[in-house]
Homo-oligomer: A and B are copies of this chain.
Amino acid sequence: MSETPRYMEAVNQALADEMERDDDVILMGVDVGEAGGVYGVTKGLYERFGAERVWDTPIAEAGVLGAATGAAISGLRPVAEVMYMDFISVCLDPIVNQAAKLRYMTGGGVTVPIVFRMQTGGGRSGGAQHSQSLEAVLAHIPGLKVFCPADARDAHDLLVEAIRDPGPVCYVENRRLYRRRDDEWDRPALPAGQPRIVRAGEGATVVTWGRMVSETRAVLDELDGAAANVELIDLRTLVPCDLAIVAESVRRTGRCLVVHEAVERHGPGGEIVARLVEQVLWHVDGPVRRLGALPTPVPYSPPLEAEMLPSPERIAEAIRALLDD
Contact = CB atoms under 8 A, between A and B. Distances in A.
A297 B105 contact: yes
Sort chain A's interface into a size bin. Answer: 35 or more
Contact of A299 (B104, B140, B265, B296): B104
A244 interface: no
A239 B264 CA distance: 13
Nearest to A104: B297
Contacts of A296: 104, 142-143
Nearest to A295: B142
Within the oligomer, what is the number of copies of this chain? 2
A266 B89 contact: no
A97 B277 CA distance: 33
Contact of A266 (B90, B105, B268, B277): B268
A137 interface: yes
A263 B297 CA distance: 25
Contacts of A100: 297
Contacts of A269: 270, 274
Interface of A: 62, 86, 88-90, 92-93, 95-97, 100-101, 104-105, 127-129, 134, 136-137, 139-143, 238-239, 262-263, 265-274, 277-278, 281, 284, 287-290, 294-297, 299
